[in-house]
Amino acid sequence: MADRNALLKHLRVNVSAQNPSRVLGGGGLIQVFRRHFSEEVRGSFLDKSEVTDRVVTCVKNFQKVDPSKVTSCAHFQNDLGLDSLDTVEIVMALEKEFGFEIPDNEADKISSIDLAVDFITSHPQAK
């Protein structure tokens, strides 16, 4: 038992609540971590053709839309005959499909399938 305690005494690491940037040498490790993470996030955008297929399918499933009129460049109001409330409902369906919330100021700009695809492919949180 005495040998065990002597061994543990030498193996123990003192833990204290120090500033992490001081412990890690001025935050260098943290900067490397952030840089790596941001590069990883930039590389995780969805493929445009996959997003286009998913958006087109989502719009085709909307009850007020004639599926035969839906194309990858269809305008919600001019080509599909939807009003502003319908457009809001489509944007909500896209949020659900891709797993992230589209801010209102950006949602107001989405008036066609190609604009929706462009926004979703450029957003890092889209799944």
- Determine whether 10 is exposed, middle or buried from the number of CB atoms within 10 Å of its CB (0-12, 13-18, 19+): exposed
pLDDT class of 39 with cuts at 50, 70, 90: very low
21 and 28 in contact (C-beta within 8 Å)? no
Residue 27 sits in the same domain as residue 56: no
Q: Which domain holds residue 22?
A: 15-44
Q: Check if 114 is active-site.
A: no
Residue 109 sits in the same domain as residue 80: yes
* The model scores a pTM over 0.75: no
User: Residue ranges of the alpha helices (H) in 46-124?
Assistant: 48-60, 84-98, 104-107, 113-121
Residue 126 within a domain: no
Residue 67 sits in the same domain as residue 92: yes
pLDDT at 56 over 90: yes
Residue 25 sits in the same domain as residue 75: no
Of 83, 108, 114, 118, catalytic: 83
Residue 56 sits in the same domain as residue 117: yes
Residue 79 within a domain: yes
Residue 31 sits in the same domain as residue 61: no
